[in-house]
Amino acid sequence: MHRVSIVGSSGSGKSTVGAALADRIDVPVVELDELMHGPDWTPTPTPEFRSKLTAALAEADATHNGWVVPGNYRTVADIAQGRADTIVWLDLPRRVSMWRLLRRSVRRALTHEEVWGGNRESLRNLVSRDPARNVLLWAWTNHPLYRETYEGYASGTFWSHAMVHRLRTQHDVDAFVASTHT
């Protein structure tokens, strides 16, 4: 395991698991959110996003012979997931992901924690009825869509080149991370 793509719904723990796995197999984390979000949550145009990811993976391969990429962006799935030797699908129950996402988002808003591109989450967005602004509504709506998409990838050819680990409980996640080593 040298090139790992971690997918799952918002709040499933992709970045947390990504950091733990990268530490255990001694490779860098390439955060898709960091490459995607500019100031004021401005999205990176798709061609530039794809170029940035390709360059980051090439750099990680050259310097560490591998990488861990947490994130779900379909516009780069062929790059991140297509080049991975291991896919980790965090398929936790919706209630677990939503609780984690709520706690994380409230903490970030209250502490003014900077996230990618100098952005910060706000409490105002968490009460918005617009899923484009409210990460909780967006995650609630998209959770079943991720499951459907990844079930298709797992049963089809898109992930057939990689070892796929579908982790459905925190116990599964903890056991997988603990079993991983260089």
55: CB partners within 8 A, 6+ apart: none
Q: What is the pLDDT of residue 116?
A: 85
Tens of each residue's pLDDT in the chain, 182 residues? 999 999 999 999 999 999 999 999 999 999 999 999 999 889 999 999 999 999 999 999 999 999 999 999 999 999 999 999 999 999 999 999 999 999 999 999 999 999 988 888 898 888 888 888 899 999 999 999 999 999 999 999 999 999 999 999 999 999 999 999 86
Q: Which domains, ranges and CATH numbers included, belong to the chain?
A: 3-93+147-179 (3.40.50.300)
Measured at the CA of 34, the angle between CA 32 and CA 40, to 5 degrees, comes to: 125
How many whole angstroms separate alpha carbon 56 and alpha carbon 132? 28
For the entire predicted model, the pTM comes to 0.94
How many whole angstroms separate alpha carbon 159 and alpha carbon 87? 8
Q: What is the pLDDT of residue 130?
A: 84
